[in-house]
Amino acid sequence: MRQVRTIRYRDIASDLRQRVEGGEFASGRLLPSESELSGEYSASRVTIRKALEELRADGLIDSRQGSGWFVAGPTVLQTLARLGTIEAQLEAEGRRSQRQILDFAFVRAPARVRAVLGADAALKVRRLNLADGEPFARVTVWCPEDLGAKLSRAQVEEKSFYDLLPVRLTGASQTIGAGAAEPEDARLLDVPVGSPVLRCERRTSDETGRTVLIGEYVFPAHRTEFSVDLAKPEASIGPGGLRLIE
């Protein structure tokens, strides 16, 4: 009987394809590293890379510098042209949004938060946001105690502060920077320690101009995109909407 010779990287690609399509790795989930796959399949890194490239050509997986390989799927896209929540945008796209409350407590505000909110005591809520069952953000929100006094853990798990606060919210500023995942955030977001993340701070104000919310967000960089609409940008030698950090 004639023996059919197979090509090793194609065998590995076929097995990985079955694992991805079978749901072992969900959309947006990072795959094991090339080194880990090399050990798992007893194959060289070159062979593993060829197998992964074949799956990328089929549109099943993708990679980003510093993040590794991940299952291709829709990114979590947040537009910054209007005041709103990312959960509302996800639901508008027909995607399932979920919140898991990690901490809910009234505490003495740290000095930086105190200076911005003008309040000694604050409600601190730390949560994990998920899209279609996969974590996409670790969020910490600070609110002055006088505005959050009547809120419960169950309420902030179900609804946004935008819907719960007894004041009208009219504006926000958001700062976005790059960072690396620290151990706790890496565990929550299911990414390797040190992998690229986007760190954002949003300050939301009421109609009097008072800052009433500070939100601190950590997003896995390979799953997140921000879109900024600039209606009439002023003439500049640099990209509109950006500023240099000294």
pLDDT in tens, 217-244: 999 988 888 877 766 655 545 455 555 4
205 assigned to some structural domain: yes
143 assigned to some structural domain: yes
Same domain (yes/no): 117, 221: yes
Same domain (yes/no): 99, 176: yes
Instruction: List, for residues 143-172, the tens digit of each pLDDT value.
Output: 999 999 999 999 999 989 989 999 999 888
C-beta atoms surrounding 159 within 10 Å: 14
Same domain (yes/no): 49, 85: no
Of the candidates 86, 113, 107, the one whose C-alpha atom is nearest the C-alpha of residue 98 is: 86
**Is residue 177 within 8 Å of residue 226, measured between CB atoms?**
no
Separation of alpha carbons 85 and 99, rounded Å? 12
236 assigned to some structural domain: no
| CATH code of the domain containing 112 | 3.40.1410.10
Among 54, 71, 88, give the residue marking a domain's end: 71
239 assigned to some structural domain: no
Same domain (yes/no): 36, 57: yes
Same domain (yes/no): 144, 81: yes
Separation of alpha carbons 28 and 9, rounded Å? 23
Same domain (yes/no): 65, 91: no
Same domain (yes/no): 192, 100: yes
Same domain (yes/no): 36, 83: no
Q: Which element (helix H / strand E) includes 142? A: strand 134-144
Instruction: List, for residues 87-114, the tens digit of each pLDDT value.
Output: 777 777 788 889 999 999 999 999 999 9
67 assigned to some structural domain: yes
141 assigned to some structural domain: yes
Q: Which element (helix H / strand E) includes 204? A: strand 196-206
What predicted TM-score, i.e. pTM, was given to this entire model?
A: 0.76
Q: pLDDT tier at 5 (50, 70, 90 boundaries)?
A: very low
232 assigned to some structural domain: no
| CATH code of the domain containing 17 | 1.10.10.10
Q: Which element (helix H / strand E) includes 27? A: none
Average pLDDT over residues 32-38: 92
Among 42, 71, 100, give the residue marking a domain's end: 71
Same domain (yes/no): 90, 212: yes
Separation of alpha carbons 230 and 233, rounded Å? 6
Q: How many domains does the chain have?
A: 2
Same domain (yes/no): 108, 162: yes
Same domain (yes/no): 205, 174: yes
Same domain (yes/no): 161, 39: no
**Is residue 162 within 8 Å of residue 87, measured between CB atoms?**
no
Separation of alpha carbons 130 and 9, rounded Å? 34
Residue 141 domain boundaries: 76-227
Sign for the pseudo-dihedral over CA of 162, 215, 240, 136: negative
45 assigned to some structural domain: yes
